[in-house]
Amino acid sequence: MSLFSATGLVKSFHSLRATDNVDISVNANEVHALIGPNGAGKSTLVNLISGLLPVDAGLITLDGQDITRLKAHERVHAGLSRCFQVTNLFKEISVIDNLRLAIQAHEGNNFKVFGVRNHEAALNEKARALGAKVGIEGESVLNSMAGSLPHGAQRQLDIALALAANPKVLLLDEPMAGMGPDESARVVELIKGLRQHMAILLIEHDMEAVFQLADRISVLVYGKVITSGTVDQIRNDPKVQEVYLGSETVAHG
């Protein structure tokens, strides 16, 4: 049984059917990648899954629970965390304060950057441990402004904020966007480690990263999943080569 599944999802905007009877699932400790050209409907699908848009039809379940009608924050509490295409950081405060706020939000505490000493010590310890999960550590880094971090490190921090909720399923929306090869390689290694603890639904244009990470790949075109399969199956699928990847990319990417 899949840890996460979306079945028969439909979403229309006036006469445009942006999501057309989409089925997608993710198993525990699996990376399922969703790829497709611009305008394929990936953003709409991700917003349906994360609760930012209501579905017109279909069913979404997480660990056996029907979450189709839950609000976005309720889905987080149920175990579904999302990293957005644009990082969701408080750039004008320190890295460690970003981590502290994420932990407080999950634990239901007040949003206090400064507080009682005994609480502060425990919170700081949790924040450092959370940062270390994604390779964000060291006092100079933790005390720097989040907005001053390199792009790749900001993405790592953004993933850490999503991990504060201890998700069962992590939804990563183009985590490699705007990165150079070295930054992408670090995030690929980070995702490889995270998959040991959760299921991951990955939306990504970087096909080299997708081929390194994915157990399964689904291809979305004009709101429909045209095929799903393993990396080798997708590489060699003529439909995928024609509509999205290009034969040279599939063969050698």
Task: Using the structure block, give the residue that is written with the tokens 């304060």.
Answer: 97
Q: Is the pLDDT reported for residue 117 higher than 80?
A: no
Domain presence at residue 110? no
Strands 216-221 and 31-35: parallel
Residue 246 belongs to some domain of the structure = yes
| Crossing angle between the packed helical segments 117-133 and 95-107, to the nearest 10 degrees | 110
Is position 171 within any domain?
yes
Whole-number Cα distances in Å, 175 to 121, 204, 233: 31, 7, 24
Domain of residue 48: give its range.
Answer: 4-93+166-252
Predicted local confidence at residue 20, as pLDDT: 96
Q: Return the pLDDT at 109.
A: 62
Mean pLDDT, residues 135-156 taken together: 94
For residue 11, tell me if it sits in a domain: yes
The residue assigned the tokens 């000493």 is 117
In a domain, 233, yes or no: yes
Using alpha carbons only, what angle is made at residue 62 by residues 57 and 68, rounded to the nearest 5 degrees?
A: 25
158-185 burial, b if ≥16 CB within 10 A, otherwise e?
bbbbbbbbebbbbbbbbbbbebeeebbb
Q: What is the sign, positive or negative, of the torsion defined by CA atoms of 111, 115, 119, 123?
A: positive
- 85: in domain: yes
Please tell me the total count of domains within the chain.
1
Instruction: Evaluate whether residue 236 is within a structural domain.
Output: yes
In the prediction, which pLDDT does 15 show? 92
**Is 70 exceeded by the pLDDT of residue 127?**
yes
| Assigned token pair, 139 | 């006092």
**In a domain? residue 160:** no
Q: What is the CATH number of the domain that holds 19?
A: 3.40.50.300
The arithmetic mean of pLDDT across residues 230-253, rounded, is 73
Whole-number pLDDT of residue 103 = 94
